[in-house]
Amino acid sequence: MSDRTAIGLEWEGVDDYNVAGYIVYRGDSSAPLTRVGGSHNRFSNHFLDDNDIKQGRQYIYAVSYYTKDGRESAKSAAIGASALPMPEPISWLASGNILPRKAKVIFRPHNNERISGYIVERRDSKRGEWRIAGKLQGRLHAEFIDDGLADGAEYEYRIVSVTFDGLKSRPSEAIITATKQLPPTVTGLSATTKLKGKIDIKWNRLKEDGGGTYRVYASDSPDGSFSQIAEVKPRNSVSETIASEGATRFYKVTFVDPDGLESRLQQKAVRGATPPPPQPKK
């Protein structure tokens, strides 16, 4: 009688009051028969072998008995028994649409009703280590969404099936998926220097900016801390009101797509200014 990690043996007992018990031997294709256990009761005719049984491996067994004065009989004829194999891996899985900072993996539920759930493994590159990205409970739970990933990065995923008694299948084949790229950096930035009371900031609109917004950042120095001063629906300009004359400001602009991903700031800020106050006549 076989299970995945245990094999049960039964035999016809020897009806002799001199018998004290039985000895069970086990071997396989690469190892000779060695003693693995037995019984110290002549009325027992059952043995459970759960000592390091490997899933899917074939074993050979034989049984002998021993008498009260310590003599052992010849071994019985050997019989073969195979531990049940591990569950087959998931047969089909695929990645969903490219998502912002997320990855979606879908797969066909396992057809073995002994499966209780799945372990989803991820690695960042083909030379990286596989790590557990998540666990799914329920055989029919066949979708996994991984969150908190890097922008524009590739990831590899595979699925391990788990039985109710905690046994694991071989991993499925791996798939590669990627997260959404950040929007392109905004170009063509300029700012005025001759308008009284305000500075106009302009930029080139992206080819595809529908549903997004542009954020405008400003600072009093090119290397200072930039703070957001405006966020506008798709257009190519905005104005900052400046009360003082001779003021200098520095600007950067980003684009935020409908998924909330924001493009990178320009490395170099553009300078804007208001004209200085008129000089008194001499």
**Apex CA 174: angle with CA 115 and CA 130, to 5°?**
85
SS3 content of the chain, % helix, strand, coil (to 5): 0, 45, 55
Q: What percent of the chain has pLDDT over 70?
A: 100
Checking if the pLDDT of 38 tops 80, the result is yes
Q: Is the pLDDT of residue 4 over 80?
A: no
pLDDT the model gives residue 55: 81
Which residues have a Cβ under 8 Å from the Cβ of 87 and sit 6 or more positions away?
Answer: 110, 112, 114, 115, 161, 163, 167, 169
pLDDT in tens, 60-102: 999 999 999 999 999 999 999 988 888 889 999 999 889 999 9
Which amino acid does the sequence have at 140?
A: L
282 contacts: CB under 8 Å, gap ≥ 6: none
> What is the reported pLDDT for 1?
84
Nearest residue to 132 via CA among 99, 183, 107, 168: 168
**Residue 244 or residue 282, greater confidence:** 244
Q: Render pLDDT for 101-153 as a digit per residue (tens, 0 to 9).
A: 999 999 999 999 989 999 999 998 777 899 999 999 999 999 999 999 999 99
Express each pLDDT in 46-58 by its tens digit: 999 988 888 888 9
Residue 103's pLDDT is 95
Q: According to the model, what pLDDT value does residue 277 have?
A: 87
pLDDT digits (tens, 9 = 90+) for 193-235: 999 999 999 999 999 999 999 999 999 999 999 999 999 999 9
* 10-23 mean pLDDT: 93
DSSP type of residue 52: S
Average pLDDT over residues 243-255: 96
- Expressed in angstroms, the distance from the first to the final Cα of the chain is 114
Residue 159: is its pLDDT beyond 80? yes
CB 148 within 8 A of CB 155: no
Residue 261 has pLDDT above 80, yes or no: yes
Rounded CA-CA distance 108/115 in Å is 13
pLDDT attached to residue 282: 66
CA distance 202 to 272: 11
Q: Cα dihedral sign for 32, 35, 37, 43?
A: positive
Which token pair is 24? 């069970």
Residue 192 is encoded by which pair of tokens? 């005025």
- Please compute the mean of the pLDDT values over residues 18-41 and round it to a whole number: 93
pLDDT at 184 over 90: yes
Residue 172, pLDDT above cutoff 70: yes
Q: Cα(186)–Cα(203) distance, rounded to whole angstroms?
A: 7
> Residue 115 is encoded by which pair of tokens?
């499966």
Q: Which domains does the chain have, with CATH numbers?
A: 7-82 (2.60.40.10), 93-178 (2.60.40.10), 190-273 (2.60.40.10)
For 33, 35, 77, 122, 130, the CA distances from 58, given in Å and listed in that order, are 13, 17, 16, 33, 30
**Confidence band of 171 (pLDDT split at 50, 70, 90):** very high
* Sequence-ordered list of residues with C-beta below 8 angstroms from that of 203, at least 6 positions apart, any chain: 186, 187, 188, 189, 190, 214, 236, 237, 253
Q: Is the pLDDT of residue 186 over 70?
A: yes
Question: How many other C-beta atoms are found inside a 10 Å radius of the C-beta of residue 151?
Answer: 15
> Based on C-alpha coordinates, what's the Rg of the chain?
37
Strands of the sheet with 175-178, listed across from one edge: 131-137, 115-123, 154-163, 175-178
